[in-house]
Amino acid sequence: MATLPETLTEDGTSRTVETPSGTVRYNAAGPAGAPVVVMLHGSGPGATGWSNFKSQMLHLADRYRVIAPDMPGWGASVPATYEERNHPRTVIELLDALGIEQVALVGNSMGGATSLKVAADNPERVTHLVTLGAGAPGSKLFLPGGGPSEGYKLLLAAYRDASPERMQKFVDVFCFDTKFRSPELAKERSDRALAYPEHLANFVAGIGKPRRGTASEDEIASIQASTLIIHGRDDRVVVFENGVKLLSLIPNSTLVAFNQCGHWAQVEKAAQFNRLLDVHLEDLLAH
């Protein structure tokens, strides 16, 4: 692996671009002209492209152009109400604004749902797809009553109260391994969330409203992109059977399950996940 420049930091890779959805802040690294990988973060309070995927950006940036946006309503991007948020549309607007024709999409949780919708609606733009802890539509056998999971309830509570103490409860459920449930991580997420109170208020105002910008079963079944589905066996936010259902729906897909892993496989199993990315994306380098 090539030596990476010292500017490969959160501040050193930070950029902004104007889109029809408003200002989008993103982190970008890697050589111009290289295959593009876009990484989409989850919906947790304090989530950003960099905080979710910095390990993967550092790992891939010597071979790929890696872009990790803060989606509208998160991080340093434009605030967005429930009614204004349309993340699949924003992804296409971002690609158009940056002059990018085709990408590999990597999405965690909400970002995985966005990636599935983008790949279904824009097959000519998405060559490869990777989801981590992404949900699948329809009823769930192992989620009694079809209500919100334990982890999602704590996510909602952390939006209502983003203090370090409340965020610690959220982090404790998202991670299986206790070494990742640190007070430092909880404080970092709390600080990022509290820095943008309008994002918190907008999200809370949308709680209980129907999910938007997600793909139907038929749409997911139409996806032709080479797809890698990653799921933690011990995910208490989006239960493991979602990964199995996505495998059953997407024709050209592979499911990898990590035992003793929660909702943040890219954090808890970073080394293993990065190796899987290398294999899944390697044919992009041949073109």
Q: Which residue has the higher pLDDT, 133 or 213?
A: 133
The 10s digit of each residue's pLDDT in 248-262 is 999 999 999 999 999
CA 64 remoteness from chain centre: 18
Contact 30, 60 (CB under 8 A): yes
| 263 in catalytic set | yes
In tens, the pLDDT along 75-132 reads 999 999 999 999 999 999 999 999 999 999 999 999 999 999 999 999 999 999 999 9
Is the per-residue pLDDT at 1 higher than 50? no
Level-2 CATH architecture, domain 14-153+214-286: 3-Layer(aba) Sandwich (3.40)
Rg (CA), the chain: 17
CB 2 within 8 A of CB 62: yes
Q: How confident is the model at residue 54 (pLDDT cuts 50, 70, 90)?
A: very high
- As a whole number of angstroms, the distance between CA 282 and CA 287 comes to 10
Answer yes or no: are the C-beta atoms of 214 and 128 closer than 8 Å. no
Tens digits of per-residue pLDDT, 6-21? 568 999 999 999 999 9
Structure tokens at 129: 């797809």
Task: For 166-218, give the DSSP string.
Answer: HHHHHHHHH-SSGGG--HHHHHHHHHHHHT-HHHHHHHHHHTTSPP-S---HH
pTM, to two decimals: 0.95
List C-alpha distances in Å: 42 to 33, 150, 221: 27, 16, 22
Span 133-170, pLDDT tens digits: 999 998 767 655 567 788 999 999 999 999 999 999 99
Six token digits for residue 268: 């808890």
| Selected catalytic residue, list 128, 199, 263, 280 | 263
